[in-house]
């Protein structure tokens, strides 16, 4: 048994959600999907570890869910849209989780986004025709 290699495997710090990851993280994502139902959220909040066991999560995955360790969850096959449904229990937004995965604070993360966007108004002006250009 061997998983296909892909031309996106080299992109650093990136976990493209392919078949291999989806198969690995199926339980984590299935559990997160169950949080669309408020009664399941209540049960999970009552005992996170026990709820994880219902979805046969590994020791490593259960620990990552309970700790809100999103980089570990990515490496275990979590999908970011599903992990967003877990983040909320740790009082985190997707942006907070992104900062955590990058090893920086949310304020630093926001500053990075602003920094990456810098100069766009000048670019729009150069091309022309933009509203508020």
Partner 1 sequence: MAKIVGGITTSHIPAIGNAISQGLRHDTYWERFFDGYTPVKEWLAKVKPDVAIVVANDHGLNFFLDTMPTFAMGTAQRYENADEGWGLKTLTGFDGDAPFSWHMIESLVADKFDMTICQEMRVDHGFVVPMTVLWGEHDKWPVKLVPLAVNTVQHPLPTAERCFELGKALRTAIESYGEDIKVVIVGTGGMSHQLQGERAGIIDTDFDIECIENIIHNPEKFTQLSNTEIMERAGTEGIETIMWMVMRGALTEKVKVVHKHYHAPISNTGAGVLVLENTEE
103 counts as binding partner 1 under rule CB under 8 A:
yes
Site for partner 1 in 5-24 (CB under 8 A): 6-8, 11-19, 22
What's the number of CA atoms in the CB half-sphere (13 Å) around residue 40?
Answer: 14
The H or E element containing residue 7 is none
Does residue 114 interact with partner 1 by CB under 8 A?
yes
46 contacts partner 1 (rule: CB under 8 A):
no
Among 63, 72, 80, 90, binds partner 1 (CB under 8 A): 80
Pick the closest to residue 25 from 92, 10, 65 (CA basis): 65
Binding residue for partner 1, selected from 45, 81, 105, 125, defined by CB under 8 A:
81
User: Cα(3)–Cα(9) distance, rounded to whole angstroms?
Assistant: 12
């Amino acid at each position: 048994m061997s998983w296909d290699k892909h031309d996106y495997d080299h992109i650093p710090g990136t976990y493209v959600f392919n078949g291999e990851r989806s198969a690995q993280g199926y339980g984590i994502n299935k559990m997160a999907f169950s949080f669309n139902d408020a009664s399941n959220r209540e049960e999970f909040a009552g005992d996170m570890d026990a709820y994880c066991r219902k979805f046969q999560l590994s020791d490593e995955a259960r620990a990552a869910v309970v700790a809100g360790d999103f980089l570990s969850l990515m490496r275990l096959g979590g999908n970011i849209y599903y992990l967003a449904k877990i983040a909320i229990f740790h009082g985190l937004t997707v942006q907070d989780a992104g900062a955590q995965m990058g090893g920086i604070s949310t304020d630093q993360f926001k500053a990075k986004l602003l920094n990456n966007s810098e100069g766009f108004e000048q670019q729009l002006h150069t091309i022309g025709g933009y509203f508020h250009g």
